[in-house]
């Protein structure tokens, strides 16, 4: 196992915050993260990240370990509405996901829950992706656009993807890496408009993809849960719709709006989880 000093990084919070779905966690707290053509085995003790299955450059990039995290924490902690969430979940990072995989991750997330999203993605990988032997086991890599483009809506439907089924092969067939990669430098608005041309990509999915794979930290994904969280956190505001919330987020947090959303949503989701487990 390789070791890497990772200050202000929390592996568990980052992996389990609803950003990434293709991972397994062992009883010992070790993770097997399947991403791109790799299976990364990783664990953390204090400020040391132990990993195998990828080189240091890939690990640093995927987990955003080269980010100026102190600036993020310092700026967001100024906001009294955010300070508690930032303090509780300091070390939560916005992962940098492979572009096509991220697009499909969030197309499959539409009106779903984490358990079902994981199942859908794992099923796609098992049926259309390549297998990889690692750590004495066999893992299924997520299919490439070319591999998934061979599928049909009926085939995908038979795997349990529901009404999302036509969107999956359509996205794979439309995806052009060269054109898609240009969106990382054309600005948030242009990238968002381009993403919205894919079947199954609405405003929330487009903002997730822009935030998690295209490098636009100002992106502020809004779904019913974020809408509810924002209304609870800022009861003095009139949040009528997603556009009003997004404008508020940009004015309040600027290029850290995406991180603000992650902290708020993660804190709210875990609070609900604790309340549910305790019978409250």
pLDDT confidence of residue 237: 92
Instruction: Please tell me the CATH code under which domain 224-277 is placed.
Output: 1.10.1670
Helices (H) and strands (E) in the chain, counts: 15, 7
> pLDDT below 70 — which residues of the chain?
272-280
Does the structural domain 98-214 have CATH classification 3.40.190.10?
no
- pTM recorded for the entire structure: 0.93
Other Cβ atoms closer than 10 A to 132: 15
* Integer Cα distance of 251 and 141 in angstroms: 40
* Distance between first and last Cα of the chain: 42
Phi, psi of 245 (to 5 degrees): -65, -45
SS (H, E, C) 192-231: HHHHCCCCCCCHHHHHHHHHHCCCCCCCCCCCHHHHHHHH
pLDDT confidence of residue 276: 52
Ordered by start, the domain boundaries in the chain are 1-66, 98-214, 224-277
CA distance readout (Å), 27 to 31, 89, 92, 115, 134: 10, 22, 21, 18, 19
> Topology of domain 1-66, per CATH?
TATA-Binding Protein (3.30.310)
* Integer Cα distance of 66 and 74 in angstroms: 16
């Amino acid at each position: 196992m390789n070791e890497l000093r990772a200050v202000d990084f929390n592996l568990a919070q980052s992996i389990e915050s609803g950003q990434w779905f293709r991972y397994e966690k062992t009883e010992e707290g070790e993770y097997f993260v399947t991403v791109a053509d790799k299976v990364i085995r990783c664990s953390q003790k204090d400020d040391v990240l132990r990993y195998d299955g990828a080189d240091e450059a890939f690990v640093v990039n995927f987990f955003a370990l080269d980010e100026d995290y102190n600036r993020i924490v310092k700026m967001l902690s100024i906001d009294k509405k955010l300070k508690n969430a930032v303090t509780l979940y300091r070390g939560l990072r916005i992962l940098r996901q492979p572009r096509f995989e991220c697009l499909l991750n969030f197309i499959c997330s539409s009106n779903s829950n984490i358990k079902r999203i994981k199942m859908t993605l794992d099923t796609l990988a098992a049926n259309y992706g390549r297998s990889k032997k690692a750590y004495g086991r066999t893992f299924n890599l997520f299919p490439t656009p070319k591999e998934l483009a061979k599928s049909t809506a009926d085939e995908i439907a038979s795997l349990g993807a529901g009404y999302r089924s036509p969107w999956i092969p359509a996205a794979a067939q439309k995806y052009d890496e060269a054109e898609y990669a240009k969106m990382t430098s054309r600005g948030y608005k242009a990238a968002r408009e381009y993403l919205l041309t894919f079947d199954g990509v609405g405003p929330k999915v487009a903002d997730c993809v822009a935030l998690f794979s295209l490098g636009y930290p100002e992106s502020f994904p809004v779904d019913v849960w974020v809408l509810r969280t924002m209304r609870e956190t800022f009861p003095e505001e009139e949040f009528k719709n997603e556009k009003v919330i997004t404008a508020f987020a940009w004015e309040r947090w600027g290029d850290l709006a995406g991180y603000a959303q992650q902290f708020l949503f993660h804190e709210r989701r875990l609070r609900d989880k604790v309340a549910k487990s305790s019978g409250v």
